[in-house]
Each structure stands twice: as C-alpha cells, then as structure tokens.
Amino acid sequence: MLGRLNHVAIAVKDAVKAAKIYGAAFGAEISGAVPLPDHGVITVFVTLPNTKIEFIEPLGEASPIAKFLERNADGGIHHVCYDVPDIIAARDRLVKEGARVLGDGIPKIGAHGKPVLFLHPKDFSGALVEIEQA
C-alpha cells in the first residue's frame, strides 16, 4: 500500500529564502512559490535525485503552520509524505487499523495537484503523515 517517500516538509517563515539555501548548497532544482489557500500555506519544493523537500510557510494568520512556528520559532520538520496508489483505499485501510485522518476525511488537492490526506501524529510515533495519490 505505501509507496515511495514523496517529500519531507519543513516549516519555515520564508519558504523561498530557505529553498535558496538548499539550492546554493547542493545545486538542487527549486520550484516557484505556490500558495495553497485550502491548506493555509505557501510551498516551495527542492527536488533531489530520490525525493523532494517541501518548504512551507504560513499563508495568513489562521494557517496551521503559523501555529507550528509559534511553538518552533526556528522552524523544523513538519511532516513526511508518502505516495499511495489509491488514496481512498489507503484511507479506509488505515482507519480500519485504527489510524485517525485529520479533517473531514475527504482528500483535498495538494501542492502537486493530486489528492492528499493527513494522518494524526499520535498514531505514527509522533510524526504527522501525509499520503498523496500517486
């Protein structure tokens, strides 16, 4: 059911600035900044040979990332994202096994234009998990 690691997300105050540091240090490809109002974030991706790093910054005061940065002023790893072949089947199986889906359980379109869901960190050893339709 679980596919490859899609990305690791790092919450920061300025996603473009943070991504440029990675681009300069590692010669990585950097995407443009993309606002995602439904998620309350602005994203910038750094593409690596085997995965991506997503820098996320708050989009508005109600952003969950703003709350994260209040608790972690320097930023930090926010979540990990895995590909799944069928997000509805993955959701249903995870719920059956006792995992909690955040929100209403209906996938939203994520930064890659594909459906995503987030899973409660208490069910995954303290890590917020995102699953994305492959």
Decide if 54 is catalytic: no
CA distances from 99 to 54, 113, 115, 123, 129 (A): 24, 25, 18, 6, 11
CA dist list (Å): 10 to 6, 61, 94: 13, 18, 24
Select which of 54, 61, 70, 130 is catalytic. 130
Query: Hey, how many other C-beta atoms are within 10 angstroms of the C-beta on 114?
Result: 14
So which residues are the catalytic ones?
Answer: 130
